[in-house]
């Protein structure tokens, strides 16, 4: 069984790539910006921070205590963490099939990649989805030609419809990026995080 991508860890890396924060701030930002693909909060968030720190992808830079509140440790991303963020994002963007939630997460954080890298990953995914659609069409045609009822392949038609919708959306996104119609500014910035946390 394939291992599911660590979407919580990915989100933490993305957020720390623009601003050092403590886990409570990260939690608030995830909730306030409806990163609904992140599940199991707050436990999953603290576990992800612990694992990322253990892997030296993030480091603790400060610990503060205010009044009766518990200590808060502020983390920042390391150079290795930035590389890992780019690698994970590119992989999730270009890998077609499987968990659509992972693709939603990658699209949500796409602004962490330079536009050319994001475009290359999206083009690779679009080519893969086109291939999957062609294969599904061939499979359905073979069943139809064999004389078996098409109802036996209704789930393939469903998957094909979802894949076609995803492909249309990606083609539109790629075209908008190529034309410069979609601004990369303001997707995930220090100012946006600070504004959300006010």
CATH number of the domain where residue 89 is located: 1.10.10.10
Ordered per-residue pLDDT tens for the chain, 198 residues: 446 788 999 999 999 998 899 998 898 888 888 888 888 878 888 999 999 999 999 999 998 877 787 788 999 999 999 999 999 999 999 987 767 889 999 999 998 999 999 999 999 999 999 999 999 999 888 888 888 887 888 899 899 999 999 999 999 999 999 998 887 765 555 565 555 555
Domain check: are 191 and 175 in the same one?
no
Task: Say how many domains are in the chain.
Answer: 2
| DSSP track, 98-124 | S-HHHHHHHHHTGGGS-HHHHHHHHHH
Q: Is the residue at 19 inside a domain?
A: yes
Q: Is the residue at 26 inside a domain?
A: yes
For residue 88 the two structure tokens come to 């994970």
Domain check: are 87 and 160 in the same one?
no
Domain range spanning residue 103? 7-111+186-197
d(CA 163, CA 97): 9
């Amino acid at each position: 069984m394939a291992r599911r991508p660590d979407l919580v860890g990915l989100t933490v890396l993305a957020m720390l790539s623009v601003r050092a924060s403590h886990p409570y701030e990260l939690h608030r930002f995830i909730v306030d910006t409806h990163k609904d693909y992140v599940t199991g909060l707050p436990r999953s968030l603290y576990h992800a921070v612990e694992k990322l720190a253990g892997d030296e992808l993030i480091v603790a830079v400060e610990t503060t205590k205010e009044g009766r509140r518990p200590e808060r440790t502020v983390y920042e991303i390391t150079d290795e963490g930035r590389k890992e963020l780019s690698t994970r994002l590119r992989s999730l963007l270009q890998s077609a099939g499987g968990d659509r939630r992972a693709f939603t997460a990658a699209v949500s954080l796409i602004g962490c990649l330079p536009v050319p890298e994001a475009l290359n990953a999206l083009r690779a995914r679009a080519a893969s989805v086109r291939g999957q659609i062609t294969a599904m069409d061939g499979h359905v045609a073979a069943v139809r030609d064999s004389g078996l009822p098409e109802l036996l392949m209704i789930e393939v038609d469903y998957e094909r419809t979802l894949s076609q919708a995803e492909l249309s959306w990606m083609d539109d996104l790629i075209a908008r990026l190529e034309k410069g119609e979609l601004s990369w500014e303001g997707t995930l910035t220090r100012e946006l995080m600070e504004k959300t946390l006010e």
